[in-house]
Amino acid sequence: MTNQLDKKSQAWSALFSEPMSELVKRYTASVFFDQRLWRADIAGSLAHAQMLATQGIISAADWADIQRGLGQITRDIESGQFEWQLDLEDVHLNIEARLTQLVGDAGKRLHTGRSRNDQVATDVRLWLRDEIDAISALLVDLQRALVDVANRHVDVILPGFTHLQVAQPVSFAHHLLAYVEMFARDAERMADVRRRTNRLPLGSAALAGTTYPLDREQVAKLLGMVDEQGQPQLCMNSLDAVSDRDFAIEFTAAASLVMIHISRLSEELILWMSQNFAFVRIADRFTTGSSIMPQKKNPDVPELARGKTGRVVGHLMGLLTLMKGQPLAYNKDNQEDKEPLFDTVDTLKDTLRIFCDMVGGQLNPATGRKEGGIEVNAQAMEQAAQRGYATATDLADYLVKKGLPFRDAHEIVAHAVRAASTHACDLADLPLSVLQGFHPAIGQDVYEALSLQGSLHARHTVGGTAPAQVRQQIERHRLRLA
Ligand code: ARG
């Protein structure tokens, strides 16, 4: 059986005097990548058709046929039976042509009051909305994994760095919670993007709206394009609805930030795993050996995550550039939004899944506990914190408490550090008599201030690294993520 859409060149045939070359067909077709929108495409068609029927634009019998046909197509695609045809250009024409083959005229009525322009904009939004939900859930999982590891290491001391120079001791938990804050903001950004993504273009038709009495609000409700109060969310300008892809761009921007946070964490894991730090171990399943150096365990997964960040940021640049310079309304340029968007979603989801496992480990059903997550070498961290005069600021603060202005105290401590470094020892190793040589107000209690623990516990401002503060933050995150 042939029908109008069997060959793409026949979809708008009467006007065209020559067929497309094979190369141009391949160049313009999107079906081999946009077929992954099929579920959203069918959901959109069902909602549109149901509305056409309730509005009396198509008959109840047509609506029943469309449902039956799209049901069949769903099963065929799910079971891999569906034959995708390059000749039919994209996911939309492929499904519509098959529907018409299956149910005849009802299939041809589906496109009443609709254009592929509002159809594709709807599909991408529906698809992305669900992917955002999956990503948001993964962001929660990753935060939980980090909070769990943090909870076991509140009293583990790590040298905090600025300029990658030892600065002040911090709790390892505090360090991990910094990433929890980043991923929490990422999740907020995703929720925000979701709100603007979850709006309905259908009803805009090609660009100007349509002559049929469509009930757009009904379609929005059927597709779950509603706000928290259940109010339907519509794109309110037909030209804008079919043409802008800013929701995809802002999603990719939010995804880029997630990847950048992942990349920073990766960079730290890579450093911490190197023999020179030896602060942490990640499980062997995330590392590889070398084909020549038998002793090597390379942190391939964090390195790849750092590398893939470039790819996602590249997609953001691609999408921004795609949009720039497009006149209103729809242009075929927009077909190029899909591959970068799909790849961003795939890369981000895989990366988050792997990081959840790498940081937090996997649940062992026998013990009911997570195993195989990040392992911490507390001793190596503490030893590293001991080097580099991490408590020099504490000595300055100590002198301030004795009444000195901070700038003077800073200068005095610089002398003390210099003396300690010529003796190749820590500040706390200098005898009291030597320390008193720098300032007579220094007493025996200085050694408490100079200890790593003393330094840590002293930083008890809200959001500081004192263990009591860190425990409060862990509690807050736990409640938030419960
Ligand atoms: N495959 C197209 C896309 O992804 C669908 C919309 C085509 N619209 C058109 N007027 N050619 O953008």
Distance CA 427, CA 414 (A): 11
pLDDT, tens digit (0-9, with 9 covering 90-100), for 330-388:
999 999 999 999 999 999 999 999 999 999 999 999 999 889 999 999 999 999 999 88
Average pLDDT over residues 248-257: 98
pTM, two decimal places: 0.95
Tally Cβ neighbours within 10 Å of residue 60: 10
One DSSP character per residue, 403-430 reads T--HHHHHHHHHHHHHHHHHTT--GGGS
Euclidean distance between the first and final Cα of the chain, in Å? 57
H/E element, 467: helix 467-481
Instruction: Judge whether residue 389 has pLDDT over 70.
Output: yes
Catalytic residue of the set 13, 59, 274, 290 = 290
Average pLDDT over residues 437-457: 95
Q: Whose CA is nearest to atom 4 of ligand 1?
A: 335
How far, in Å, is the centroid of ligand 1 from the Cα of 116? 6
Beta strand pairing status for 375-376 and 280-281?
Answer: antiparallel
How far, in Å, is the centroid of ligand 1 from the Cα of 73? 21
- Mean pLDDT over each residue of the chain, to the nearest integer: 95
Which atom of ligand 1 lies nearest, measured to the CA of 90? 1
Domains of the chain with bracketed CATH: 20-112 (1.10.275.10), 118-214+225-371 (1.20.200.10), 379-481 (1.10.40.30)
Residues 6+ apart with CB under 8 A from 461: 469
Which atom of ligand 1 lies nearest, measured to the CA of 206? 10
In this structure, are residues 137 and 191 in contact, taking their beta carbons and an 8 Å threshold? no
| Percent of the chain clearing pLDDT 90 (strictly above) | 92
Residues 6+ apart with CB under 8 A from 55: 212, 213, 214, 215
Long-range contacts: 128-131, Cβ < 8 Å, 24+?
Answer: 128/197, 128/247, 128/248, 128/251, 128/341, 128/345, 129/194, 129/197, 129/198, 130/40, 131/345, 131/349
Q: Which residue from 117, 244, 319, 328 has its CB within 8 A of the most atoms of ligand 1, so it is best to mutate?
A: 117
At how many degrees (to 10) do helices 246-273 and 116-151 cross? 30
Catalytic residue of the set 21, 163, 291, 433 = 163
CA distances for 473 relative to 246, 388, 422, 446, angstroms: 35, 28, 40, 29
Cis peptide before 60 (omega within 30 of 0): no
Evaluated on CA atoms 69, 75, 76, 77, the torsion sign reads positive
pLDDT, tens digit (0-9, with 9 covering 90-100), for 13-36:
788 888 999 999 999 999 999 999
Instruction: Supply 135's token pair.
Output: 């990503």
In this structure, are residues 179 and 172 in contact, taking their beta carbons and an 8 Å threshold? no
Instruction: Judge whether residue 6 has pLDDT over 60.
Output: no
Q: What is the CA radius of gyration of the chain?
A: 31
pLDDT, tens digit (0-9, with 9 covering 90-100), for 106-115:
999 999 999 9
290 included as an active-site residue? yes
How far, in Å, is the centroid of ligand 1 from the Cα of 332? 6
Three-point CA angle 261, 125, 28, nearest 5°: 100
Q: Whose CA is nearest to atom 11 of ligand 1?
A: 332
CA 73 from chain centre, in angstroms, equals: 32
pLDDT, tens digit (0-9, with 9 covering 90-100), for 179-236:
999 999 999 999 999 999 999 999 999 999 999 999 999 999 999 999 999 999 999 9
Encoded amino acid at 356, one letter: C
289 pLDDT band, cuts 50/70/90, is confident
Instruction: Judge whether residue 9 has pLDDT over 60.
Output: no
The number of C-alpha atoms within 13 Å of 343 and in the hemisphere containing its C-beta is: 17
Distance CA 116, CA 182 (A): 39
Distance CA 163, CA 225 (A): 47
In this structure, are residues 129 and 198 in contact, taking their beta carbons and an 8 Å threshold? yes
CA-closest candidate to residue 399, choices 426, 451, 453, 436? 436
Distance CA 353, CA 335 (A): 29
H/E element, 401: helix 392-401
